[in-house]
A and B are shown apart, each in its own frame.
Chain A
Amino acid sequence: MPSIKLQSSGGEIFEVDVEIVKQSVTIKTMLEDLGMHDEGDNDPVPLPNANAAIFKKVIQWRTHHKDNPPPPEDDEDKEKRTDDISVWDQEFLKVDQGALFELILAADYLDFKGLLDVTCKSVANMVKRKTPEEICKTFNIKNDLPEEGGAQVRKENQ
């Protein structure tokens, strides 16, 4: 199976299957733009916005889901659910907030829609059933709403 070399922001080079990373729109576009072919090219593809540790995780997730069909396009009428995360993904996403948000950014940069969806759902589950104070505490957000404005917003939305 042909492979391709990818270089993370830290300079580490990862050799992965082309089929695995070709679902990444970013990598696919980069390969096309750089004129790289999947055979014979030994030059690594630079990924400046992906560090080695997170890139490993991305490759791991993508390797596990390489046989999954590509996700459908977003449908506004389709009900969005967050309780359809697989068990493997739940275990895979049992990381700290920093790693989780790094995965989101890497998935967004590499345009792995499936990984982006599952990571966003995971964050949405962290927000559900929480009060504003709990949300601020969970995500270390400072409530910068003025006292009067905050009360008004609460009144309108509660």
Chain B
Amino acid sequence: MDRGSLLPFQLWCPRPFGTYSQNQPRPPSAALKPSACPEPGGGAEPDHGPAHSENTPPALATEVPASQPAPLLSAAAAGDEGRVLLDTWYVIKPGNTKEKVAFFVAHQCGGGSRASSMKVKGHWGSDSSKAKRRRRCLDPTKAPPDPGGREGLAASEEGPASAGEDVDLLSVAEMVALVEQRAALALQSYPRPATPAPVVFVSAEQGGPAKGVGSERRSGGGDCSRVAEAVAHFEAQRDSPPTKGLRKEERPGPGPGEVRIAFRISNGREPRAPDSGLPSGGGGRPGCAYPGSPGPGARAKDKITCDLYQLISPSRDALPSNVEFLLARADEASEGDSPAPARSEDTPPAPPPPPARDCGASGFHVDVVVTGVVDECIFFGKDGTKNVKEETVCLTVSPEEPPPPGQLFFLQNRGPDGPPEPPPADSPATAPGPDDADGTADTSLCRLYRHVSHDFLEIRFKIQRLLEPRQYMLLLPEHVLVKIFSFLPTRALAALKCTCHHFKGIIEAFGVRATDSRWSRDPLYRDDPCKQCRKRYEKGDVSLCRWHPKPYHHDLPYGRSYWMCCRRADRETPGCRLGLHDNNWVLPCNGPGGGRAGREEGR
């Protein structure tokens, strides 16, 4: 990170009870941060800021008056070059509320490794009747007046390099914007093969609140490499087929009705080969969840993408079909021209996957989890009505176009020129509405989502119903169906009984007999069970017997009686397994026992 490119802000804090004389400047360090805006009269002390005035910030220089007591925040500020970090237990004199807020904001944002120090200037001296505000001084030639005459900030120490830096009192929004800008610049300093990626949510990592509704920060922490690994791990989990939800292993998974918004930043630190998958080793797919995706090679630029995905059904088991992943279609052509976000997510298995997309990125990932019970598509649309359905928003942040101050978390849609929405998944809920262009024009956070009109969905449903093939068989009257079924053999009727309840009921209710049925119609044999399985005939019985029906042979009047299988004389011959149920008595006219007395009938 090029500190020289950082805005010249530095944080200083007044001494307790409003005087700085008690503050002790920090010990000298090899490199001192240039002060943002040198205190008035900072030139008096080249290396340290003015610290010898009651109303001036402590000197951030090598000169440490031994007589002075150690600053209360010296421990915290010891490692911070060129500035004294605010300690929480410093007493802030009553002053302008914004100043105080900015004061603490600056403190929060003032990480040790980040040059996000902010300098809040004001006269906190006991004799100051009011806080003075100074404009942020960016003109190196202009140095704010130093009432104390000894503004020994680092700016003065740095000399002309820091002369241009000036500290000025900023509004809260401006401070946040500055923090974000610094974070973006900081991320840009990371080595990347391609163009520098926009910095997103770095301020979130630094501790700033993530914009949006109920943000949830990933466990990546402030370390980019850890963040990148976490993102890679997430990618691996996402790519694995059983892992339908996102980051299930990392966290319990989305709760019922949770809406998750995931912003990804691609910084190119972990380029993915087409077949290498993720650096973490998860998944062998290219950097895209969809087949035919452009792959990482197609990503001309690192992009910030936004995934809006929502769980429609509370059932986690049905996650694959219910999880709606809303992605912006990656326009390969536009990717080269503009930093269109190209992302892909897991898709429901049943519906066809959306068009190929460029996968998300390594690097930073922040989940914005909004918990709550949702019935269907829940999106934070403009009105949030129940008719709001389906969102697909392509949110991009061009590295060349940093978001306006304070708008980093309010990523704007690219508009009609942006990537189109993906095709709908498996439900009308995910159908892209005709008002895609309308959604693209929205820029506010609450307009990140698009919704489809209810009328469109209704009309489309009717059209689909009209176009789908009709069930003519089910529309026929029952007597016609009985007539049709009466032309069928046993096996066809058995298959029909296995199709639907309606056919099964008709066959059983009307006692449809197959054309090849061997159940005797004679009432005398109605209760005579099958020879082999002992099954009795019931209306609509089209079951098959495993044994071929055996004729009964009886040698009258005193001869033996026995069963024969397949009309064979040998009693041990096993029966055929494809026969029909049969309660008919068959005369063994040609069997070995045919010469004997006839068989007994009607028993």
Q: Do A and B bind each other?
A: yes
Name A residues whose Cβ lies closer than 8 Å to a Cβ of B: 76, 79-82, 97-98, 100-101, 104-105, 108, 116-117, 120-121, 123-124, 127-132, 135-136, 139-145, 150, 153-154, 156-158
Name B residues whose Cβ lies closer than 8 Å to a Cβ of A: 468-477, 480, 483-489, 492-501, 504, 513, 515, 521, 542-544
Complex CA gap A136/B473 in Å reads 10
Knowing A101-B475, A139-B471, A141-B471, the reply to whether A154 touches B499 (Cβ < 8 A) is: no
Q: Residues of A contacting B495 with CB < 8 Å?
A: 127, 130-132, 135, 157
Q: What is the CB-to-nearest-CB distance from B509 to chain A, in angstroms, rounded to a whole number? A: 15
Q: B504 and A108: CB pair below 8 A?
A: no
Q: Residues of B contacting A141 with CB < 8 Å?
A: 471, 473-474, 499-500
Q: Write the chain A residue with the least CB distance to B516.
A: A79
Q: Residues of A contacting B493 with CB < 8 Å?
A: 157
Q: What is the CB-to-nearest-CB distance from A25 to chain B, in angstroms, rounded to a whole number? A: 14
What is the count of residue pairs linking A and B with beta-carbon distances less than 8 angstroms? 101
The answer, among A80, A131, A150, A157, for a CB contact under 8 Å with B487, is A80
Q: Residues of A contacting B489 with CB < 8 Å?
A: 128
Q: Write the chain B residue with the least CB distance to A133.
A: B499
Knowing A80-B487, A82-B487, A135-B495, the reply to whether A142 touches B500 (Cβ < 8 A) is: yes
Q: What is the CB-to-nearest-CB distance from B580 to chain A, in angstroms, rounded to a whole number? A: 11
Q: Write the chain B residue with the least CB distance to A117.
A: B483
Q: A80 and B498: CB pair below 8 A?
A: no
Knowing A98-B470, A145-B504, the reply to whether A124 touches B498 (Cβ < 8 A) is: no
Most B C-beta atoms less than 10 A away, residue of A76, A81, A97, A139: A139
Q: Write the chain A residue with the least CB distance to B507.
A: A157
Q: Residues of A contacting B488 with CB < 8 Å?
A: 124, 127-128
Q: Residues of B contacting A76 with CB < 8 Å?
A: 513, 521
Q: A105 and B543: CB pair below 8 A?
A: no
Knowing A108-B477, A140-B470, A145-B504, the reply to whether A158 touches B487 (Cβ < 8 A) is: no
Q: Residues of A contacting B470 with CB < 8 Å?
A: 98, 140
Knowing A120-B483, A141-B499, the reply to whether A127 touches B472 (Cβ < 8 A) is: no
Complex CA gap A96/B489 in Å reads 24
Complex CA gap A135/B513 in Å reads 19
Complex CA gap A142/B503 in Å reads 12
Q: What is the CB-to-nearest-CB distance from A46 to chain B, in angstroms, rounded to a whole number? A: 21
Complex CA gap A97/B468 in Å reads 13
Q: What is the CB-to-nearest-CB distance from B63 to chain A, in angstroms, rounded to a whole number? A: 85
Complex CA gap A135/B489 in Å reads 15
23 contacts between A and B (CB under 8 A): A79-B515, A80-B486, A98-B472, A101-B473, A105-B480, A120-B483, A120-B487, A123-B473, A123-B484, A124-B488, A124-B492, A127-B484, A127-B488, A130-B492, A132-B495, A135-B496, A136-B499, A139-B471, A139-B472, A141-B474, A144-B500, A145-B500, A156-B543
